[in-house]
Every structure is written in C-alpha cells, then in structure tokens.
Amino acid sequence: MQINITGHHVEVTPALRAYVTEKMQKLTRHFDRVNSIHVILNVEKLIQQAEATVKAGGRTLFATESAADMYASIDGLADKLDRQVRHYKDRITNHHHARPDPTEPEDEN
C-alpha cells in the first residue's frame, strides 16, 4: 500500500506524517485490497482540513474532514474512510445463503 501525504499551506512534519500513516494503516484491517492513499492536509485561516482519496479494489473512495485541530481532522477523516471501506467490502461480499446442492439427496423426516 502506497501512502502519499501532501500539505497545502502547512508543513508536513514527521509527527504529522507518522500520525497519518498510522491512521491510514488501519484501513487494511477491514479490506486488504487497498492499493494507494493520497492525503492532502490544508490550512485556511483557523480551519484545519484533511482530505483523502483511496483506491481500493478497483473503486475510488473520497472523504474530507475539517476541524480546529489537524489531528482531530485526521481522526475524523480516518473514521469516515473506515466506514466507507467497510460498506464497500460488505457490498462486494456475497451475503446470500448457500443454496442446497441439487445432487445431494434431501433429508426426509
């Protein structure tokens, strides 16, 4: 999994980079086909914004979060992406019950 972190009007410090990497690694717990993640950290006046584009299993997921603190916006972003990844995994997982095999004899009680 490749993680790209970009900062607009903010310097991406090693602490921020480590925090984002730690939070985004958690996405692979629910879905192992996450190919790449592009995270953009942005500061406009007093608003700290984090947005991410995730490419997973042929699908592109996007989320954005704003807060007064950059770490809080990264937490909110990770929660949103986690929710989207779980929803996507549930959609592609077959939830139908196994159909009975027609070659097996039925139980007659």
Task: Map out the domains of the chain as residue ranges.
Answer: 2-92
List of residues 6+ apart from 55 with CB closer than 8 A: 34, 35, 36, 37, 61
Q: What confidence category does residue 96 fall into, taking pLDDT thresholds of 50, 70 and 90?
A: low
Kindly report, residue by residue over 17-69, the tens digit of the pLDDT.
999 999 999 888 878 888 999 999 999 989 999 999 999 888 899 999 999 99
CATH superfamily, domain at 2-92: Ribosome hibernation promotion factor-like (3.30.160.100)
Which residue's entry shows tokens 């490749």?
A: 2
